């Protein structure tokens, strides 16, 4: 195992092995409407937790570790496509927005992918957008040293609810960068809405977006339920995050990570299944879970090339082009506003 990955996994295991929260818990500082929204989703017939809560500081580090796994093909495949087709992709974007257009990195995380495009696009203005401000600001410290000629800013907002607010920070036609197939986490109709909002933010610019493609169930299963258990730790960690936000008493050790491949809907569902019947409590509420009853934590839709091109056009993007790997496992799409 890669040494850095092993350290991250050990840290995650230690954190998840902490004793579960006790009840009654004090009411946390989380805004009341957010607590109400979390509780409402837990109380639905099919309990769910928004995937946004997967990415607390530990979750961000765990996801970085996931991208290094041999089973997790999207990151290395997307990187290979970018390296192989860099000049063609950059030419497409520069032809529309010119050189030195702002590069807006949506869901920037560790800011590990956008710098690849600084040179080809002549980037002098980089805007990293992510809900996890602390994680992004830490990444920008190193980037500023390595790229002193690039102005770097961070905007902390929730892409799901607040993306239109980003327009206030984009002063001219920009290249919006949304890699890693994060668009796959949205229901198809939500993806169209988000892409439409991106188009408004781009101010007549362009989009470069990563898209995971439909493939065999076996390959998807391995990618979302790795042998080392990093994805399982990542998924269970969301319960610790909910404990802090809601004042709940989830015991992550009593939940099993499940990756379910739904061939009919062409998506992977991440679930947490109860190991034995249990009742989870929080200030003002509780939910009983039967043995094997699950909480739905994330969807990851897989697209076809024609299907995603149609999605872009429906959202108002024009002239979509795509570049893929030799096995059509992943694609980079570019389009103009």
Residue 288 has pLDDT above 80, yes or no: yes
Evaluate if residue 30 carries a pLDDT over 90.
Answer: no
Does residue 296 lie within any of the structural domains?
yes
Residue 221 covered by a domain: no
Residue 176 sits in a domain of what CATH number? 3.40.50.150
Is the same domain home to 39 and 95? no
Model pLDDT for residues 38-64, shown as the tens digit of each residue: 999 999 999 999 999 999 999 999 999
Same domain, 108 and 201: yes
> Phi first, then psi: what are they for 84, rounded to 5°?
-70, -35
Beta strands in the chain (DSSP E): 103-106, 125-129, 151-155, 175-178, 206-212, 255-262, 267-274, 278-282, 285-289, 294-301, 318-324, 330-336
**Are 102 and 180 within one domain?**
yes
Same domain, 128 and 254: no
Nearest to 202 by CA among 40, 74, 312, 88: 312
Q: Give 169-194 pLDDT, tens digit per residue.
A: 998 999 999 999 999 999 999 999 99
Task: Say what the alpha-carbon torsion angle 196, 311, 75, 8 is, to the nearest 10 degrees.
Answer: 60
**CA dist., res. 211 & res. 78, Å (int):** 9
- Does one domain contain both 146 and 186? yes
Q: Which residues pair with 103 in a beta bridge?
A: 126, 175
- Confidence class of residue 160 from pLDDT cuts 50, 70 and 90? confident
Let me know whether 133 and 164 are in one domain. yes
Same domain, 57 and 203: no
Q: Please tell me the least confidently modeled range out of 5-19, 53-67, 124-138, 261-275.
A: 5-19
Residues 206 and 315 in one domain: yes
Does residue 79 belong to any structural domain of this protein?
no
Least confident of 9-13, 37-41, 62-66: 9-13
Residues 206 and 330 in one domain: yes
Domain that residue 146 falls in? 85-213+305-336
- In this predicted model, what pLDDT tens digit does every residue of 85-115 receive, in sequence order? 999 999 999 999 999 999 999 999 899 999 9
> Are residues 113 and 196 located together in one domain of the fold?
yes
- Same domain membership, residue 256 and residue 127: no
Total domains present in the chain: 2
CB neighbours of residue 60 within 10 Å: 22
Residues 146 and 264 in one domain: no
How many whole angstroms separate alpha carbon 79 and alpha carbon 81? 5
Q: Where are the beta strands (DSSP E) in 40-193?
A: 103-106, 125-129, 151-155, 175-178
Q: Look at residue 266 and tell me if it is in a domain.
A: yes
Residue 262 CB: number of other CB atoms within 10 A?
Answer: 14
């Amino acid at each position: 195992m890669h040494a850095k990955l092993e350290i991250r996994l050990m840290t995650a295991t230690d954190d998840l092995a902490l004793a579960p929260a006790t009840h009654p818990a004090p009411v946390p500082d989380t805004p009341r409407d957010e607590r109400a929204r979390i509780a409402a989703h837990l109380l639905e017939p099919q309990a769910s937790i928004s995937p946004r809560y997967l990415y607390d500081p530990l979750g961000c580090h765990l996801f970085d570790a996931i991208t290094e796994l041999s089973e997790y093909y999207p990151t290395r495949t997307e990187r290979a496509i970018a390296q192989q087709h860099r000049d063609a992709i950059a030419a497409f974007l520069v032809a529309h927005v010119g050189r030195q257009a702002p590069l807006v990195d949506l869901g920037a995380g560790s800011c590990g992918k956008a710098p690849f495009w600084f040179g080809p696009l002549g980037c002098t203005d980089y805007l990293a957008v992510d809900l996890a401000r602390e994680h992004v600001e830490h990444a920008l410290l190193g980037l500023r040293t390595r790229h002193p000629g690039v102005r770097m800013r961070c905007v902390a907002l929730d892409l799901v609810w607040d993306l239109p607010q980003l327009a206030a920070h984009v002063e001219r036609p920009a290249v919006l960068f949304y890699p890693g197939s994060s668009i796959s986490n949205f229901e198809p109709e939500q993806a169209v809405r988000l892409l439409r909002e991106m188009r408004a933010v781009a101010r007549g610019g362009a989009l470069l977006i990563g898209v995971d493609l439909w493939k065999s169930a076996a390959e998807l299963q391995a990618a979302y339920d790795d042998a080392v258990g990093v994805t399982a730790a990542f998924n269970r960690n969301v319960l610790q995050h909910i404990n802090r936000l809601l004042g709940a008493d989830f015991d992550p050790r009593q939940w099993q990570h499940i990756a379910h491949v739904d061939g009919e809907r062409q998506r992977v569902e991440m679930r947490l299944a109860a190991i034995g019947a249990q009742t989870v409590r929080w200030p003002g509420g509780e939910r009983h879970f039967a043995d094997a009853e699950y909480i739905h934590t994330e969807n990851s839709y897989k697209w076809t090339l024609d299907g995603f091109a149609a999605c872009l056009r429906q959202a108002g993007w024009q002239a979509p082009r795509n570049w893929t790997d030799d096995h059509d496992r992943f694609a980079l799409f570019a389009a103009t506003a």
